[in-house]
């Protein structure tokens, strides 16, 4: 007799509108321009997605200088790029399609507007993440200062800034951790200006809310996603903070810890915004082999957001 296993399945989970659009941009570019097309950096942070696009005819490069055939188009990843990248592409006569998520582009426009209006800008985000590199690269070097933790806020001094102060954030951060940093900034700089509509994107917020809703009821929690996916890593942190210490990131190299699952009665599952749903289904099927599984989907929001494709592909 198989033991019972209850699974709470978080919803929304998996692909967000920006990721769907970015993948579609690569696929449509291949069908419109033929293979190969180049993609600068991973289009989205998921190994499976990247491998499948390679099979269809995408060649992934780190920099534009790695492109062997300048007659082929290049696509910029969903995380956004510094201003210098399209400028370099134009100099090299490369045709390019920008797959930057529109919600990341919104933060880019914000930074330009703040700079134009004479603000000093703080960016809350993770150092070396492609989105942060892209956002900081919208303005001349030194125009944006990166804040990673509350501790960084403590180190700021009033007289570090000659102009009025404003903050923007990376779109895939932990909602709660960011709120703490923003609170510390507002306590220290009461006049600091924030975005009209917050920068953390709807998909990040919804996925974290769904995880919070169920993690405390679970013996274990699994987030399907890649190690370099900021929003997936944040979901694991959110699950732990919400009360499930045994929370794991299920990336492509990670084996399912069946021996630990053996002692669990209730498991939670979600997936990062760049993780394909079939990876979630594969995990569920593996669990069904040894256990009598009942699944309850916990829905905290309905997502109807769709982003238009760039005009080059219409």
Q: Of 27, 52, 55, 131, which one is the catalytic site residue?
A: 131
Confidence check: pLDDT of 1 > 90: no
Question: Would residue 313 count as lying in a domain?
Answer: no
Task: Out of 157, 180, 200, pick the residue that ends a domain.
Answer: 200
Please tell me whether residues 277 and 206 are part of one structural domain: yes
pLDDT tens per residue across span 8-31: 999 999 999 999 999 999 999 999
**pLDDT (0 to 100) of residue 138:** 98
Please tell me whether residues 7 and 79 are part of one structural domain: no
Is 63 among the residues known to form the active site? Answer: no
- pLDDT band for position 38 (cuts 50, 70, 90): very high
Range of the domain at 152: 102-200
- pLDDT band for position 314 (cuts 50, 70, 90): confident
**pLDDT (0 to 100) of residue 68:** 96
Average pLDDT of the residues in 50-62: 98
CATH number of the domain residue 240 falls in: 3.40.1010.20
Please tell me whether residues 10 and 22 are part of one structural domain: no
Confidence check: pLDDT of 158 > 90: no
Number of domains in the chain: 3
Confidence check: pLDDT of 96 > 90: yes
Averaged confidence pLDDT in the chain: 97
Q: What percent of the chain has pLDDT over 70?
A: 100
Specify the 3-state DSSP secondary structure of 68. Answer: coil
Average pLDDT of the residues in 60-68: 97
- For helices 175-188 and 202-215, the axis angle rounded to 10 degrees is 110
- pLDDT band for position 305 (cuts 50, 70, 90): very high
CA 187, 189, 193 angle in degrees (round to 5)?
A: 110
Helical (H) or strand (E) element with 279: helix 277-290
Question: Would residue 210 count as lying in a domain?
Answer: yes
CATH number of the domain residue 93 falls in: 3.40.50.11270
Question: Would residue 312 count as lying in a domain?
Answer: no
**pLDDT (0 to 100) of residue 258:** 94
Average pLDDT of the residues in 204-211: 98
Confidence check: pLDDT of 73 > 90: yes
Confidence check: pLDDT of 76 > 90: yes
Peptide bond between residue 36 and the one before it cis (omega within 30 degrees of 0) = yes
Task: Out of 171, 200, 229, pick the residue that ends a domain.
Answer: 200
**pLDDT (0 to 100) of residue 116:** 98
Question: Would residue 307 count as lying in a domain?
Answer: no
List C-alpha distances in Å: 195 to 89, 107, 120, 157, 171. 31, 9, 14, 22, 12
Task: Out of 169, 200, 231, pick the residue that ends a domain.
Answer: 200
Question: Would residue 306 count as lying in a domain?
Answer: no
Q: Cα separation of 1 and 291, whole Å?
A: 9
Please, are residues 144 and 136 in contact by the beta-carbon 8 Å criterion?
A: yes
């Amino acid at each position: 007799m198989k033991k019972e296993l209850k699974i709470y399945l978080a919803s929304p989970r998996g692909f967000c509108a920006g990721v769907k659009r970015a993948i579609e941009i690569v696929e449509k570019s291949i069908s419109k321009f033929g293979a190969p097309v180049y993609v600068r950096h991973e289009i989205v942070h998921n190994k499976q997605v990247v491998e499948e696009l390679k099979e269809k005819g995408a060649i992934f490069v780190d920099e534009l200088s790695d492109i062997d055939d300048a007659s082929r188009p290049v696509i910029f990843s969903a995380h956004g790029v510094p201003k210098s990248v399209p400028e370099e592409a134009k100099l090299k006569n490369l045709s390019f399609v920008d797959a930057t998520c529109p919600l990341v582009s919104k933060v880019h426009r914000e930074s330009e507007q703040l700079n134009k209006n004479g603000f000093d800008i703080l960016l809350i985000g993770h150092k070396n993440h492609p989105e942060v590199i892209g956002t900081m690269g919208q303005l001349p070097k030194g125009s944006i200062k990166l804040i990673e933790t509350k501790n960084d806020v403590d180190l700021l001094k009033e007289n570090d800034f000659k102009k009025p102060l404003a903050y923007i954030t990376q779109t895939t951060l932990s909602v709660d951790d960011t709120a703490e940093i923003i609170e510390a900034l507002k306590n220290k700089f009461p006049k600091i200006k924030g975005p009209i509509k917050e920068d953390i994107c709807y998909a990040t917020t919804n996925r974290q809310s769904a995880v919070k809703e169920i993690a405390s009821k679970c013996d274990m929690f699994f987030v399907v996603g890649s190690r370099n996916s900021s929003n997936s890593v944040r979901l694991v942190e959110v699950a732990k903070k919400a009360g499930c210490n045994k929370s794991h990131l299920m990336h492509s190299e990670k084996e399912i810890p069946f021996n630990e699952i053996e002692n669990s009665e209730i498991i939670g599952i979600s997936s990062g915004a760049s993780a394909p749903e079939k990876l979630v289904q594969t995990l569920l099927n593996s669990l069904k082999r040894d256990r009598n599984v009942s699944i309850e989907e916990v829905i905290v929001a309905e997502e109807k957001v769709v982003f238009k494709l760039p005009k080059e592909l219409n």
